[in-house]
Amino acid sequence: MEAVVARIRLVLVLCVAAAAAAALMASPGAAAGEGAAAAATAQELRRGFSVTHDQSYSQFQPVLADPTGAFALGFLRVKATMLDLAVLHLPSAFPLWRAIPDRPAPWSAPASLSFDGGLVLTDRAASKVLWSAAAASPGDRAVLLNTSNLQIQSTSAGVVWQSFDHPSDTIVQGQNLTTAAALYTLDRRFAMRLGSNYFALYIEPPSPGGVAAAAMYLKHTALQAKAQIVAGGGPTYARVEPDGFLAMYQKEGPPADVLSFDTFNRGVRALRRMTLEPDGNLRAYYWDGARWAADYTSITEACELPTTCGAYSVCAQPRGGCECLLGNATDGSGCAAAAAPGSLCGTPGGEVGGLYRAVRRRGVEPANKELLGFERAASAADCEARCERKCSCWGAVYSNGTGYCYLLDYPAQLLVEGDERKLGYFKVRSLEEEAAGRGGGGGAGGVKAALLAVGVAAVVGAAAFGAYRAWDRRRRAAADARRQLGAVDDGLSPGP
């Protein structure tokens, strides 16, 4: 791994050096027929530009460089055999932006990147557009700014498209994350989205538009320390700031919220980034010249991380041991796969039942119950019945102590051990069920198996414990930050 990184760095350094020496400016048509090395690392792409992916680059083929030489846009090799277009931080070879992270092309695809008012990545063999940056109006040039922002600019209309508006898993310092965008892990299992006055992390449903909803596993609400968030006052946005914090704004000026990192206000001036990582954790780093130094981790306890246990499992504190709802221990790969598409009802809007197995379990509760709504129910049976009747309900947890009934609109996950008064009811659709149905053979069993077999099963992992405690911890940390920022405790609401 070290060696690979070192090799990438060497290649990049050579490329950048060559480009700097040549001070290349791509002009219309010039790049198309030339060797990739000569076409590499232009500082500006003009209309008519086109460059072909050259497989002789082992990891990264730079196409467009920023003025400082710290970043480059180019063809990136991912997962050994796949190809994506990326903006790389060259010293670390870390991709700050990816064009098609969830559907990269084969490395061997004869891909080309061209600029003709918009940027287009094409697979020439298949005559297929793999990705395009469709600008509102055509641009005259594409440039990479010294912030790593890839922009398409027009002489008359200014910036018509920028990569900062289309993040993949990372935002860098100075980049606005708006309600119109979201951060996704590269496999799109997890997402970070902004709400009106908060940001939250979600386990994405196995199939978009399916019957399961996204499960929220972390919510950070704006503290409104220095600026109120006004209802109807426009959408919020978040930004990593040079002083070492994530700020939430409704407009420029004092932030409505400050989520401080470890180096908050310590005078560390370095490139910062915040990334939603494959394990579902949101982390911040700064580049210390040799490595990305960790500066903030949103979830620090095993049971709070959605990848610690799989779906249909219960997480035990504090070690994060996982136990399947159906009985057996698991290694974190999940206990049963949630069959994604289709409905929990036999026919759309029709009868419930038959397509899942009901599993009851005492002593479990949703780790994210503070983030779920609840209804009051007279009894566990009453709570269960409300879920059973609903095609979109995947489970219900009744608290015999409070009479609260929590309904889950996603397959059972984010469950932790609770006291004996908590009674869980879960609808389980699993590969085992499917196999059993198929094993039964023929008739209704066959139909059932066929229905279950439709589509891809996805194991969505999840369990978190003490989300509230974590939230409270962060709330207090942020309150400290607020004090450091100079906002005295003047009775401003800490938010819900």
Residues at the interface with ligand NAG (CB under 6 A): 68, 146, 164, 174, 176, 252, 326-328, 380, 400, 423
For residue 6, count CB atoms less than 10 angstroms from its CB and return exposed for 0-12, middle for 13-18, buried for 19 or more: exposed
Q: CB of 160: closest distance to ligand NAG in angstroms? A: 13
Compare residues 326 and 485 and give the one whose CB is closer to ligand NAG.
326
Q: CB of 39: closest distance to ligand NAG in angstroms? A: 25
Q: CB of 118: closest distance to ligand NAG in angstroms? A: 19
Q: CB of 50: closest distance to ligand NAG in angstroms? A: 27
Q: Whole-angstrom Cα distance, residue 403 to residue 377?
A: 6
Q: How is residue 111 annotated by DSSP?
A: E
Q: Whole-angstrom Cα distance, residue 252 to residue 248?
A: 10
Is the link from the previous residue into 318 a cis peptide, with omega within 30 of 0? yes
Q: CB of 237: closest distance to ligand NAG in angstroms? A: 6
Residue 88's beta-bridge partner residues? 72, 95
Compare residues 189 and 429 and give the one whose CB is closer to ligand NAG.
429
Identify which of 228, 282, 234 has the alpha carbon closest to the alpha carbon of residue 255.
228
Q: How is residue 163 annotated by DSSP?
A: G
Give the strands of the sheet with 321-324, arranged side by side: 321-324, 313-316, 415-417, 364-366
Compare residues 75 and 237 and give the one whose CB is closer to ligand NAG.
237
Residues 6+ apart with CB under 8 A from 312: 324, 325, 326, 334, 335, 336, 338, 411, 412, 413, 426, 428, 430
Compare residues 146 and 297 and give the one whose CB is closer to ligand NAG.
146
Evaluated on CA atoms 312, 314, 315, 321, the torsion sign reads negative
Q: CB of 265: closest distance to ligand NAG in angstroms? A: 21
Compare residues 299 and 359 and give the one whose CB is closer to ligand NAG.
359
Compare residues 75 and 161 and give the one whose CB is closer to ligand NAG.
161
Compare residues 134 and 435 and give the one whose CB is closer to ligand NAG.
435
Identify which of 147, 460, 76, 95 has the alpha carbon closest to the alpha carbon of residue 275.
95
Compare residues 176 and 392 and give the one whose CB is closer to ligand NAG.
176
Q: CB of 278: closest distance to ligand NAG in angstroms? A: 26
Identify which of 161, 210, 218 has the alpha carbon closest to the alpha carbon of residue 193.
218
Please report where in the chains the tokens 């600026």 appear, as a residue: 227
Compare residues 220 and 422 and give the one whose CB is closer to ligand NAG.
422
Residues 6+ apart with CB under 8 A from 242: 173, 174, 269, 272
Q: CB of 335: closest distance to ligand NAG in angstroms? A: 8
Q: CB of 189: closest distance to ligand NAG in angstroms? A: 24
Identify which of 365, 356, 358, 338 has the alpha carbon closest to the alpha carbon of residue 460.
338
Residue 95's beta-bridge partner residues? 88
Q: CB of 146: closest distance to ligand NAG in angstroms? A: 4
How many C-beta atoms lie closer than 10 Å to residue 405's C-beta?
A: 25
Compare residues 68 and 265 and give the one whose CB is closer to ligand NAG.
68
